[in-house]
Structure 1
């Protein structure tokens, strides 16, 4: 689970960085242009940088100038972009005939020079993993500069440091991207980041028909929804199928079932909805945007939550009736309790807050032009305020900050 994030010089995040603490379930609320989406953008940027390369990640966001903080880049000596995360999770492994090594936290930091006149430069990359073996403390370290990588050789008897040069073709490729050969902790962290998922569902895209392919995934805007619904429908355990059906029955009036069918000419899968008192199945073109969003949200909270280490969802309330806010919160809270799942949700909807605990709410504000994020549980006297008002009321009143 990601427990801490530090962002400096990235988009609306200025300097110095402040630590953003995350739990299993995190609803991020704030005004327009306060920087909510930039937190998710930073996480997606880091995933792209690690699983592809830094240049790819920068280009996905529109180039160096779109990544760097606009205020900081105007200074004579602009600060680099810094992203740091802490992941707390247990890792146990053995090397050769040695006794088991145990790790419980991973601190990973990347510092990039993204001056507009040059290609991205990796200034430094750092991974620190405290471990224990036979009650003896061991510290795995990976330290990269612009020209070398130094790391702890876990295969050596004394866990010595090794240093290797960086070849020019690798200058925009993070060491972690190919670090599995260096050490198990690198491979483990690479796998964790590789299973981060990001969603901003578009009903028009989600309702389309798609071909089924091996290792299919739900796309960012809902691509492949029909193929995944077919895969879930055909699964003999019916675990996710029943979760989706029961979930929709509880929030969509008259909903009975969904069905998938193969389109003969295109060889793509389409889905339909069956409702009470309506003869025949309803095609996706006639299904409401709200129902499409809820269907995609249930797939994310069931099927995807079992396949992801971190899930970010932007504004799930769009197209969904406000009276369903409690159901959406309960759905995502249940999903966040799965062994590996963690959720970060951006929202403008104060109704969500009425069903959340203060430690599940992040408040996003602009302070002196820079994004600042704090937990509602850190607000002074929050519990006293809650004796008289709901969290949603406190937010609308401006007591919590993060207001329009």
Structure 2
């Protein structure tokens, strides 16, 4: 095949190059790294049995914001053969922010908080609940020719998928100031938050969003925590958001209060977090309230569209426990998916194992010996009303 090369900017504004090629023996080669630097090269044996793995990997990179030369503008060439000219061309035309192939500007992402260094560098930061919901950017667009409605809201996933949730329009707009609605229509400001339904896992919520025949589809809530505004600090964005919401922010003092929430649009509060000790205390408190952990934002940082940098950090707790394996199934890549039974009730959950792929495939051939055995599982939280481990990874099987 002809190699496919894609580009994007990283958090430091470097140009990244990613290239994929399928060799004559079927092996997939991937080269990636900063443009004009020595690339990292890896060779992969295809694992997907019923799909074009090369195209699948290209599609995944495009969802991350990578673009080909010909994507940059209408008259772009298919390729440029001179590296120096390519670099100059990309510096000129490659978008400042990561976007999907449809042009949707991707939201900012969180790094993992591990120590006190971000506080030493940034000082006091803004802390919020880390919600276990489905990321959703709510924007507004004009409607031409409608005498009764001059705009509508748009609902877009973090990957750029548009959802049909127009029934939420009145719920959200009735709680926003006229100034904020005007900023959304005229300036392209968007609400940054998550579609959420307390007590349900993110997989459940994903199903509710996509299936409007389910009762829970119309019970979905939108929890807002930021605004996508260019060249505005997090502190000012937070002020603008609190000013725009009628009735102010919504906080919780008990887990029951959180899980019983029926309000379908709310803005969550922010708390001052001045060091890792305070962050740990807040994280643990928020977990006790039924949330996934803590998010902290650098108050002086601008919104980092499509980037994962020091503007925002997530802080979750790692837990582990022993659970009995009751089933092992094969996924589309030929790798095992383990079903385990919860240790505090009869609910089940699925996870993968932390092993090289060849070792994982061996376990499929001996699954009859592994079912019924105890497994050590690392997880981040117990999720939803079923309280099963979430973000789970099988570390070890006791044979």
* TM-score by shorter chain over 0.5: no
- Per chain length, whose mean CA-contact separation is higher, i.e. which structure has more relative contact order (CA < 8 Å, sep 6+)? 1
Superposition TM-score tier, normalisation by shorter sequence: under 0.3
